[in-house]
Structure 1
């Protein structure tokens, strides 16, 4: 969606006292144009070829294959016992594909739709099982990343150990969120084994990057471990007005007792970035043109983000463990851009306006947990009780003013002075808090694993509009639940069934003054997992049905208003296989079938736009293990995106497309011991430079073109 359309939606919502901070539903234009994810927790390990020991942060992985994750239960649970789909992108996958963004990282994950808004370096927007998770579906180390309108955390994949995706409603342990699922980003953590690496990259669009990562015991003590990760990048993009510059630093410290029963890990991060404020192309008559709407003379999106927090755990005995995870975070976003409004009749000039958005966000999140292991006769219980709290305060200011016309004959981008407009249109403060109390029991009897959980949430949202001096306040309460049953066969097969619910706060009122209720989601899922003990292989298949109710829809009696009568249903099938073999072969393959329908509200009976019915992906890489070619590696990937509708009225379609990725690498230490730790790698994304248009909600975008990155790394 273009920034002007995004702003139009925002202004309409503001007039109705509806905060975009918690925009939800497939029909939400704000959510469709932004970033992010809810999350899962991943482990700090990364396989034999990567840094770390394969464990930490709640995830265990061997190469491409995940073994356990805390994302679904907040307890150390093997994935075969979890009665819900969990997909993992391990550290080794991130390195082998040389992932640069969160969207890239999730591009081979079943059920995840990336690219619905084409190339947009501003945000990592994506869908899970057809539902947007940009604003309320991304977590960092098990704690939600709170967001505003443009104050949305950017993700640096080099600072991650891995990514977990929990499918379906997850409110029972995480509170308000998308019915599609959550994404959990796991930060790199200190390692016991000393580790150091430096890496340089050069690539397409004048890309230059240097990074480093170091970890190990501090001061010779086994009880104090450190890690520090950093990166600096200077780069352009295929858009004239958008750069991709970044400075990133992430320190971490672990302090633990001699008996390892008490562990404190402190995690910090600071990022300064610059990209473009407008990533859109002008649309005419429902089709995209090659005319960029932004201008490099006034088009920078400058941002700074920081966070610091800790994870504390104390194990009293075999029965009782307590934890507290806490984080405070801050974002400053200053967005400047031009917007083309109209093209002259003689097609020689385009009229423009200049816009500025300033966002400031402060957030606090804490999660207190107690885990108890008890037996009642032959039944083993893993009980988890928790109390969590989140708070976010967002200041938004908008303004616009005139900009000189663009000369369409000479395309004089960047050659005219453009005055910075005042913040004269919107100025609001939004505060939102959520308190949740939850209880979960994992019961194991012989081969059966039954998971039961319930949660109650209290939510408060306040909004003050400085322009009108109007304030609003809204309170909501909601109960969520989950029940799932798995059966474990000796051969590694584990079938399961589950039912789960979710909600997401919807702040605002209708034109008649009626308070909007939280949207609600429920999912039924049946699946089967296969993870044999004697082979590093995981295969997962699932059938699901999700229904989201109380979705906002346009008020037929008030075009600027909304009513709460919408409903969306998503039914589908997912299949995923991952393996990492001793022979040097890695593989991940996925297929998604999705059948969605707007069952109530605007465009009833239609398929939501931008979401394909079929998606297929496969990535495989191989490293020669012996002979003269030992250390030589090569990989290739294919991503098929099926047809989708370009608008919610289903009047036209986006074509299907196939995108190809590739890699080539060499470990110089295999040829000569003097070069131990030195390796080179080349990765190409969209190798054949296929740039097709894709439309969503009636606005069209362009896919990102070919991007090639070469890197040299030294580990010591």
Structure 2
């Protein structure tokens, strides 16, 4: 079962009172504050090639030139030059998403340093991402800076075509975002309205009977100077390599921006509705001895994992003057999922069959997230200050139910998928849980600039409450937590583009449950020390970053040595490593990104003391390049090629066996038809291939084994006008 770790609460009247106070101070509200005269006069980055993908709307928290990020809000919640940020970040621009023809969030993160994407192999149902050795899937996914709330299986899907980019903040991030894993957060950025007209339609066909259509329309609303729109949509029908899992999707994402004539007030409304169908089972049976087989879980007679998700929200900002601004971001979101599946219980070699069972799981969740920010920019003599004060609130409730049925055995000699009787559960009386979680956080941050020093310091306090109800047993539980977290970092900016930095940050995550004596577990705690160096020359569209880090997470659960039926909160794990990433868009024709990660992660106590967690590779290396010929006989032809090297990892926490290393290759080939005729301007064809040589080497993680996604080829034809 997937474990969801979100944030409980504090009485809502405190939140409402805080909002009312800020609203009184703000009056109306929207856009970023104009910076006061900075203490540091940075040389502007001058590049000949903008490299920005057409259709990138303003805002969203990421400004990039090609692959290279210039400004982002993910690390400070203010629009900040990346050279001033004392913490490692990863970015994937819209142009990179298009060059690699990214089809999932896992694919988007594959070429980012410090990230292990797809830890559990190919799974069309969920996105699984580890950052610096920690799983951020359940607590670290954000959209437009707000947490993506959900339940155990009612989790949000992220369609890359609807995104403007992806940003990854590495390391503990509770000071700005509240409870979460110490590895960091993954933030996806919605496409926003553009000031100039933009229109695009695209058709795709590919492996596993894949057929997809996309459209993206944006620009000013006719007869209006202050109103802009965007409408993006996706329709997909596709099988997968699993016999009982599809990858169907219908998504529609409208957006509308209103901007006042003086540009001091801005309101952007962002919506999305998605229906998707995948498979309740998507994996391979692993024997009790930890050996993967060629038998798939699932059966065509009872297979669908259906879901609908809906979100609506806004980003509102108001600039009072050049020194003071207020912002409020709010989103309501709802997910309903219905999962039907057949799984293998075990093998009976005597009878020559695999015994199976059927089950149905229904999970529904809804929630609201809001973040209020008041930003002040002012100088104290030679010192420039950017002060951010915020109050945010998250509330999610979900209902989780399941029931069991029966399924006929599967022949080992001739697997008879879809040919045996499946009796679905007659009810969902097997289990039911209702959970309500609330979190209220108050934070303050100051970015202090003096000469070429940039000091970032901040603190936050959170109140959390979790309420669980189990109707079948008439039992209830309630847990309250509160925690203070902080961050301090210092960067220095040299004239030649080098900017070294050092930082310390903390995080926490609630731990649900009780110990043997009945007392509630306290939140786990994470601490990180990081030193790094960035190189971003002003005369070259290049960014190179390197970081050395140590993260320790304490108070994790381990078995109670006096009674294995209970757990105690004495576990610790430490992640130490080094990562480096280089990104460049030297011209409009050439884009490159390369990343290397070394990770040394180990348990500090318990039965596995001194061992490395299962499935975490020691080394990862990746490089991707895309080049389009601008002259000569091959003018208009684009070539992209990438490789991902993943070293050996342990197959179990006891470190008794190893997963083999692997080298995976991706490639694309494209052509811009405008070079044939001016009448074909805007027409572009592309063929992309993932795992080009079909490497299916398995990865085992504590008695469960998974395979990499096999070779997949997609052809696209796009028209922009």
TM range (shorter): over 0.9
Q: 1:336 aligned to 333, 340, 344, which one?
A: 340
Matched, 1:318 2:322: yes
Matched, 1:22 2:19: no
Gaps of 5+ in 2: 8-48
Q: 2:357 aligned to 334, 353, 360, which one?
A: 353
Matched, 1:510 2:515: yes
Quote the residue 2:197 is aligned against.
Answer: 194
Paired residues for 1:564-713 under 5 Å: 564-582=569-587, 584-713=589-718
| Distance in 1 of aligned mates of 2:105 and 2:429 | 34
1:54–1:264: structure 2 CA closer, same or farther, 3 Å change rule? closer
In the TM superposition, residue 702 of structure 1 has moved relative to its aligned partner by 1.1
Quote the residue 1:65 is aligned against.
Answer: 68
| Distance in 1 of aligned mates of 2:57 and 2:238 | 32
**What is the CA deviation profile of residues 277-305 of structure 1, one whole-angstrom value per residue up to 9, with x for unaligned ones?**
11121112211001001111111110110
Whether contact under 8 Å (1:47, 1:53) holds in the other structure is no
Matched, 1:306 2:289: no
Q: 1:292 aligned to 296, 311, 321, which one?
A: 296
In the TM superposition, residue 520 of structure 1 has moved relative to its aligned partner by 0.4
Whether contact under 8 Å (1:338, 1:354) holds in the other structure is yes
**What is the CA deviation profile of residues 160-179 of structure 1, one whole-angstrom value per residue up to 9, with x for unaligned ones?**
00000011000001000110
Quote the residue 2:108 is aligned against.
Answer: 105
Q: 1:415 aligned to 416, 419, 424, which one?
A: 419
Q: 2:474 aligned to 469, 472, 475, which one?
A: 469
| Distance in 2 of aligned mates of 1:632 and 1:53 | 23
Matched, 1:397 2:401: yes
Quote the residue 1:256 is aligned against.
Answer: 259
In the TM superposition, residue 147 of structure 1 has moved relative to its aligned partner by 2.2
Whether contact under 8 Å (2:58, 2:194) holds in the other structure is no
Quote the residue 2:37 is aligned against.
Answer: none
Paired residues, what number? Answer: 678
Q: Given the two structures, how large is their TM-score scaled by the length of structure 2? A: 0.93
Matched, 1:224 2:227: yes
In the TM superposition, residue 410 of structure 1 has moved relative to its aligned partner by 2.7
Paired residues for 1:90-101 under 5 Å: 90-101=93-104
Classify the secondary structure of the residue corresponding to 1:311.
strand
Matched, 1:362 2:366: yes
Gaps of 5+ in 1: 1-5, 11-19, 25-45
In the TM superposition, residue 53 of structure 1 has moved relative to its aligned partner by 4.5
In the TM superposition, residue 359 of structure 1 has moved relative to its aligned partner by 0.3
Paired residues for 1:514-593 under 5 Å: 514-582=519-587, 584-593=589-598
Quote the residue 1:75 is aligned against.
Answer: 78
Quote the residue 2:118 is aligned against.
Answer: 115
| Distance in 1 of aligned mates of 2:524 and 2:403 | 31
Q: Given the two structures, how large is their TM-score scaled by the length of structure 1? A: 0.93
**What is the CA deviation profile of residues 171-201 of structure 1, one whole-angstrom value per residue up to 9, with x for unaligned ones?**
0010001101111100000000100000000
In the TM superposition, residue 583 of structure 1 has moved relative to its aligned partner by 5.5
Paired residues for 1:101-250 under 5 Å: 101-250=104-253
In the TM superposition, residue 50 of structure 1 has moved relative to its aligned partner by 2.1
**What is the CA deviation profile of residues 17-60 of structure 1, one whole-angstrom value per residue up to 9, with x for unaligned ones?**
xxx43289xxxxxxxxxxxxxxxxxxxxx964623347421110
1:89–1:293: structure 2 CA closer, same or farther, 3 Å change rule? same
Whether contact under 8 Å (1:354, 1:418) holds in the other structure is yes
Whether contact under 8 Å (1:527, 1:542) holds in the other structure is yes
Classify the secondary structure of the residue corresponding to 2:674.
helix
Whether contact under 8 Å (2:51, 2:585) holds in the other structure is no
Flag the structure with more relative contact order, 1 or 2, with Cα contacts below 8 A and sequence separation at least 6: 2
| Distance in 1 of aligned mates of 2:704 and 2:519 | 31
Whether contact under 8 Å (1:646, 1:653) holds in the other structure is yes
Classify the secondary structure of the residue corresponding to 1:333.
strand
Whether contact under 8 Å (2:407, 2:420) holds in the other structure is no
Matched, 1:50 2:33: no
**What is the CA deviation profile of residues 614-636 of structure 1, one whole-angstrom value per residue up to 9, with x for unaligned ones?**
00000001000112321110010
Whether contact under 8 Å (1:566, 1:602) holds in the other structure is no
Quote the residue 2:441 is aligned against.
Answer: 436
Kindly report the root-mean-square deviation, in angstroms, between the aligned alpha carbons of the 2 structures: 1.3
| Distance in 2 of aligned mates of 1:531 and 1:188 | 27
**What is the CA deviation profile of residues 101-123 of structure 1, one whole-angstrom value per residue up to 9, with x for unaligned ones?**
00000000000012221111111
| Distance in 1 of aligned mates of 2:455 and 2:543 | 21
| Distance in 2 of aligned mates of 1:636 and 1:47 | 22
Whether contact under 8 Å (2:57, 2:195) holds in the other structure is no
| Distance in 2 of aligned mates of 1:560 and 1:158 | 47
Quote the residue 2:29 is aligned against.
Answer: none
